[in-house]
A and B are shown apart, each in its own frame.
Chain A
């Protein structure tokens, strides 16, 4: 119980810092908006095309924006010596993974929510009452991305190439998650029965669990200095 309180204290500290500058959040949302803008030139918005490619566009925006946010958060941490400071606290290094994961998840979920709303408005997506289902899929995808992102952003900001390294490591590894997210998002946009997509939903949950567990187990090996 005490561990959880300590973890939440770290999360609270990180979120307070983020809310004061809003650095990661603003840059993420604006970047997602720009991706939506660029893709819009590819086809006529509001036409039937959005049913075909909409899911891909939404997830491109979410993925690239997430990479940006992860780099921003961990780079600040690196430059301020934040993680090194936290390593001096009684929290175990695996618990630090949990804390960083929750922080990242909060920020990416918020940015994801705004991006989904922008996507629906800008692309005139006929979503109707399926919005909660879409948000649930976006959340499940965000959990998986945050689980891998916490590990690899911590690694990336400690390498010589810094932010370039993260997408190189993160994107190939998240391919299964991205396929599952795009497929189920496409089903929701096209108002198909979600029961047919049960495989994808199961895959997302399995992916989230596997990589959260692996992240928890391997994070201490990353933080040894």
Chain B
């Protein structure tokens, strides 16, 4: 009992850290970071968009690792980790997919371009969605765990292939190379870099908190399912009961 309460205490303090760092990131983004000369205020989207994209990749790496471990060890804790990381990762991936077009419209003049980076991120997001669908409709828990692990491993092997294929696809069409190297990274001022670092920290700590919370929910859900199975299992006591 005491270990559980210390665990939730540490999660609580981590949540406070996440809140503080996120608030700081917002403050840095809107008050400290300078307005970009060409793009104007919309460039502040960088501090939300890029950390979200990186967090998505981190979460996918966790899903892959947990899936491999699950197939080797067959311990349900690895499946719990994969399920939780995929779901939280999808939140960040969706954030990336939504903030991208909002940033792109005023800067590129269009919401969407089938540029290499956009296409591969979009495809990866779709793989995440497929993964979550398989989780919801895959059947009983142990079967879902195996199917999802296979999907995660095959999907992970696909990421570099997707990456190279869309790059070749777009370099073969030189007219679409308007934006190959996007805004981030090039000639960022020091104040921008600091804001960027704080925004990254905010994304990662928030991810860690959400992952822990989701993991706890997953464990409780599984315990509940196990208890329910125990109750509904016909036993002599119930059959010869009071009614």
Contact = CB atoms under 8 A, between A and B. Distances in A.
Q: Which of B143, B146, B165, B172 has the most chain A CB within a 10 Å cutoff?
A: B165
A28 to B, nearest CB: 23
Q: Which of A161, A173, A183 has the most chain B CB within a 10 Å cutoff?
A: A173
Interface stretch (A8-16, A55-63, A104-112, A205-213): A205-213
Interface string B63-74: 000000001000
B164 to A, nearest CB: 7
B222 to A, nearest CB: 19
Interface in B112-167: 123, 126-127, 129-130, 133-134, 137-139, 143, 146-147, 149-151, 153-155, 157-158, 161-162, 164-166
Contact of A210 (B133, B161, B164): B161
Contact of B154 (A161, A173, A175, A199): A173
Contacts of A224: 146
Contacts of B169: 179, 183
Contacts of A172: 123, 126-127, 130
B137 A211 contact: no
A218 B148 CA distance: 11
Nearest to A167: B130
A173 B158 contact: yes
Given A159-B138, A175-B123, A151 B161 contact: no
A169 B151 contact: yes
Interface string A161-173: 1000100110111
A1 interface: no
Given A221-B146, A222-B147, A155 B158 contact: no
Contact of B130 (A169, A180, A203, A207): A169
B155 A173 contact: yes
A222 B127 CA distance: 19
Binding site secondary structure of chain A: helix
Interface residues of A, number: 32
Q: Which of A171, A175, A210, A221 has the most chain B CB within a 10 Å cutoff?
A: A175
A198 to B, nearest CB: 11
B75 to A, nearest CB: 15
A187 B149 CA distance: 38
Contacts of B150: 151, 155, 218, 221-222
Nearest to B119: A175
Contacts, number: 85
A200 interface: yes
Contacts of B138: 155, 158-160
Nearest to A171: B126
A214 interface: yes
Contact of B166 (A148, A159, A169, A179): A179
Contact of B139 (A158, A218, A221): A158
Given A169-B151, A203-B168, 8 more contacts: A151-B154, A155-B150, A160-B138, A161-B137, A173-B155, A176-B166, A206-B161, A222-B146
Interface of A: 148, 151-152, 155, 158-161, 165, 168-169, 171-173, 175-176, 179-180, 183, 199-200, 203, 206-207, 210-211, 214-215, 218, 221-222, 224
Rank and list the top 5 A-B pairs by shortest CB-CB distance, nearest first: A176-B165, A172-B126, A160-B137, A176-B161, A218-B150
23 contacts: A151-B154, A158-B138, A158-B143, A159-B134, A159-B147, A160-B139, A169-B151, A171-B126, A172-B123, A172-B127, A173-B127, A173-B155, A175-B162, A176-B158, A176-B161, A176-B164, A176-B165, A179-B166, A180-B165, A207-B161, A211-B154, A211-B157, A222-B146
Interface of B: 71, 123, 126-127, 129-130, 133-134, 137-139, 143, 146-147, 149-151, 153-155, 157-158, 161-162, 164-166, 168-169, 172
